[in-house]
Structure 1
Amino acid sequence: MTLLALQPMQAIGDITHVDKALHFIAYLVLAGLAFLFAQRFKPFLGWCIALAVYGAVIECLQSFMPGRFMSFADFIANISGIAVAILFVKIYLGKKTQNQTTDTL
């Protein structure tokens, strides 16, 4: 992902702001993978913070790459993807806990 983020910009389509959707989806997936990884290596929130820092660093580094630029909107899309993944995990864990409580009754 780092190599893709730091390569010269390629055309990704004519749809306005499609790159923001790609940022959102990429970080949603990465945070979901972090949850799976955190099942064995805790804590999930720590991995999400690390992803946010990684996204910020990549955005800063892009300002030094030809044809690339730093974008606060891209960073917000990254954070939004992470936040939605955290929300999904909270919902999943809440349902899992609720099912375990119901099973023990």
Structure 2
Amino acid sequence: MLTLTPSSSLPSSKLFSYDKLGHVVIFLVLSYLFVSGLNKNKPDKLRFNILLGIVITMVYGASIELSQSIIPERGMEFYDLVANCSGSILGISLFYVSIKKKWQ
């Protein structure tokens, strides 16, 4: 919900002063947890789960950015979308590495 809130109503914080880093971290966590949940239900479909996780989290990130373009005091930023997608890829990569270590 915070991603669609007008920026003037958000509290300022030094923790998230690095906007793009915040986007990367949020989508890293989101994609990791999303693919973990998918894989818990169907561990035999790892490749499909990873592909579905990439598609859904990236579409979600893009839809948030598009939605911000119609909200007053918010705006769509291309580099936010890049950060969202980067976080998704990093989160799913982290998941893949962690699942591979369990198999060894």
TM-score greater than 0.5 by the shorter chain: yes
The TM-score normalised by the length of structure 2 is 0.79
- Structure 1, unmatched stretches of 5+, are 99-105
Q: Which one-letter code corresponds to 1:32 in the other structure?
A: Y
Tell me if the contact between 1:34 and 1:48 (Cα under 8 Å) persists in the aligned partners.
Answer: no
CA distance in 2, matches of 1:32, 1:15: 22
**Root mean square deviation, CA, Å:** 2.1
- Max Rg structure: 1
Structure 2 residue aligned with 1:22: 22
Tell me if the contact between 1:12 and 1:19 (Cα under 8 Å) persists in the aligned partners.
Answer: no
**Superposition pairs of residues 1-105 of structure 1, within 5 angstroms:** 3-9=1-7, 10=10, 12-13=12-13, 18-38=18-38, 39-40=40-41, 43-98=49-104
Q: How many residues align?
A: 96
Deviations 1:45-101 (A, max 9, x none): 202311100110110110111110001100111111111112212211221222xxx
Q: Which one-letter code corresponds to 1:52 in the other structure?
A: M
CA distance in 1, matches of 2:68, 2:87: 20
Cα distance, 1:14 vs structure 2: 6.3
Tell me if the contact between 2:36 and 2:95 (Cα under 8 Å) persists in the aligned partners.
Answer: no
Tell me if the contact between 2:16 and 2:22 (Cα under 8 Å) persists in the aligned partners.
Answer: no
Runs of 4 or more, structure 1, over 3 Å off, are 11-17
**Residues 71 and 5 (structure 1), Cα distance of their counterparts in 2 relative to 1, 3 Å cut:** same
Q: Which one-letter code corresponds to 1:5 in the other structure?
A: T
Deviations 1:17-58 (A, max 9, x none): 611111111101101111221121562320231110011011
- Structure 2, unmatched stretches of 5+, are none
